[in-house]
Amino acid sequence: MKAMLNANFGKILFFSMLFAGTFNTTAQVSKKFTFSGSIDAYFRQNIGGPNGSDAIAPATSFANLNGFALGMANLVAGYESKKIGFVADLVFGPRGEDAVFNSPLYTPEGGSSRIVNQLYAYWNVSENITFTLGNFNTFLGYEVISPVANFNYSTSYMFSYGPFSHTGIKADFQLNEELSLMLAVMNSTDFTEFNPDGKYTAGLQLGYKGQFLNVLYGKQPSYDNTGTLIAGTEPTFQIDYTGGFDLTDLFYLGLNTSYNITDGAGFYGLALYPQYKTSENFSLGLRGEYFSVFGNGLDEVIGLDNEGDGHVFTATITGNYTLGNLRLKPELRIDTASEDSFLNSDLEPAKSLSSFLVAAIFSF
């Protein structure tokens, strides 16, 4: 089996290189094809908590491995003309696997779907209307899967436990220079290959001057401990606001708040993202997040009290140093929960955990 996987990876790598060469050559001729991507790696260590085999990290996606660790390689191919286009976004590595966790449904190894982050085609019906069909990253939240577009390297609780991706059809309307509307019909959240339960989820986004109100509503699949699909789950409702403001030429403030509920259980949170540019090559940013769980929802996130409630406050300070296409990001993170959610250096339950990491991100 290992030899088969190595052979499959060799084929993927060969065709990826061939694919890249073809697109680079074609781009010089037609100017319609694009090829871009990134790679990232990092070093992470707990402070006042266990490392090595006993290491524990905050229950957020990405940047939760210990010591020297890998993020992902991201390859994005696209075609764009006046009327039509497509995007094929492939991911390899731990961060990529976390991003497409619900995709490998056909075989235990996951098949080729394990590397598909986005895959969609679009049609510009007019200058103000675009239809998109396929698999696309979520429109909710401030943060995204690719580390290139995030200021902080580690991710927030709201991002990690909100949706990652959707498969369906969406229509984008540019109503005027300042107002936009998006309507979508999609499979259940993060089920990107096909529809497992015959239910659909509706999505809406209203944008005004760079501020976005996002809504998600629809039944989501639920499974028992044998993996059997259970019917009768109440629809999930999530409302989310994402935006930001340039307070000065050097100071930016981003905001995100979200509320999610299904069958009386869910979460809500608020995050602020102040960022200050100190020089041409260096910026400093803080993410302050409050995240709360209620009704025994998402009990793997943080410890819960006897009523099934719990919350956590996180302060993350990140530096962003740019060297051409390379970004270096030192980061200090402190998570403090209402209940025991971590381990201290004596391997005893603790309410707080501090950690430090340095990430390197190269984009092209």
Say if 259 falls within a structural domain. Answer: yes
Q: Per the domain annotation, does 75 fall within a domain?
A: no
Asked whether residue 343 is domain-assigned, the answer is yes
Q: How high is the pLDDT of residue 23? A: 45
Position 161 scores a pLDDT of: 87
What pLDDT shows up at residue 29? 41
Q: Is residue 94 part of a domain?
A: no
Q: Are 133 and 169 in contact (CB under 8 A)?
A: yes
SS3 196: coil
pLDDT recorded at residue 188: 87
Token pair belonging to 58: 């905050």
292 domain-assigned: yes
| pLDDT at residue 130, rounded to an integer | 97
User: Considering its fold, how many domains does the chain have in total?
Assistant: 1
Q: Tell me the C-alpha distance between 200 and 207, whole Å.
A: 23
Q: Is residue 88 part of a domain?
A: no
Is the full-model pTM beyond 0.75?
yes
* The pLDDT value given to residue 204: 98
Q: DSSP E strands: which ranges in the chain?
A: 33-47, 67-80, 84-92, 116-124, 129-137, 165-174, 179-186, 201-208, 211-218, 222-223, 229-230, 236-246, 251-262, 265-277, 282-294, 310-323, 326-337, 342-343, 349-350, 352-363
- CA gap 66, 332 in Å, rounded: 14
Predicted pLDDT at 306: 74
Mean pLDDT per 10-residue interval, the chain, length 364 residues? 40 44 44 91 94 85 90 96 94 89 61 84 96 97 95 95 92 96 93 84 96 94 62 84 96 97 92 97 98 80 80 96 97 94 89 96 97
| Residue 300 maps to a domain | yes
What distance in Å separates the CA atoms of residue 100 and residue 77, rounded to the nearest whole number? 18
CATH code of the domain covering residue 237: 2.40.160.10
Instruction: Give residue 269's domain range.
Output: 39-66+120-363
For residue 113, give every residue at least 6 positions away whose Cβ sits within 8 Å of its Cβ, in sequence order, or none: 100, 103, 104, 105, 106, 192, 193
Three-state SS at 94: helix
pLDDT, residue 220, reads 80
Angle at 82 (CA atoms; ends 78, 87), nearest 5 degrees? 15
- pLDDT of 31 reads 58
In a domain, 224, yes or no: yes
How many Å apart are CA 165 and CA 203, to the nearest integer? 12
